[in-house]
Amino acid sequence: MTDTPDNRAKLTVFAVLVGWLLVTVVVFGTSGETTRHLVRVAAWVGLPGLLVGMPLLLAWTNRRRIRHTVADTGGRVESLRALPLRQQDWWRPSAGHLPNSTKFVVVYTDLLGRRHHAVCRSNFSYGVIWLEDCATLETVPDE
């Protein structure tokens, strides 16, 4: 298996699910007061951690996936930001719309030194899909 952000994210999600399965087995394998205590701890620690941690993990993975895609073509990302929620178009079904994908604005320099202003979608299942990519005539000097 190659080491890509997609594979690392899939392994992380798999590890989290296995962890939850083990917690479930332990909770249902015990009885009485111990079970109530474990459920209380899981409710106060596990659920908020999952609700905060998974979106952060997915956002981090989306950014790594885009940087990895640009680097594979010999480019270098200069800026990368997710569009605000009102511009994500999650609510509007359209042809070519990817469910659960996040739209990003990317400024990067390609192998020839040209600056690109691009918009892409990144998704756990589909990878990176470029929606717009406009190369400017200016070249960025080497550092």
pLDDT, mean of residues 43-72: 81
- In contact, 132 and 140? CB cutoff 8 Å: no
Q: Does residue 2 carry a pLDDT above 60?
A: no
| Domain spans in the chain, listed from the N-terminal domain onward | 5-139
What is the radius of gyration, based on Cα positions, of the chain? 20
Which amino acid, residue 135?
Answer: A
> Over the stretch 114-130, which tens digit does the pLDDT of each residue have?
999 999 988 877 789 89
Which amino acid, residue 142?
Answer: D
Instruction: Return the residue matching tokens 């205590």.
Output: 37
pLDDT, the chain, mean: 77
Task: Name which residue leads in pLDDT, 80 or 58.
Answer: 80
Q: What is the pLDDT of residue 90?
A: 66
Q: Is 57 strand, coil or helix?
A: helix
Kindly report whether the global pTM for this prediction surpasses the value 0.85. no
Q: What is the pLDDT of residue 101?
A: 79
Q: What is the pLDDT of residue 95?
A: 43
Task: Indicate the helix (H) or strand (E) that contains 59.
Answer: helix 47-72
Q: pLDDT class for 11, splitting at 50, 70, 90?
A: confident
Q: What is the pLDDT of residue 41?
A: 72
> Lowest-confidence range among 18-22, 105-109, 122-126?
18-22
Task: Name which residue leads in pLDDT, 76 or 85.
Answer: 76
Q: What is the pLDDT of residue 105?
A: 94
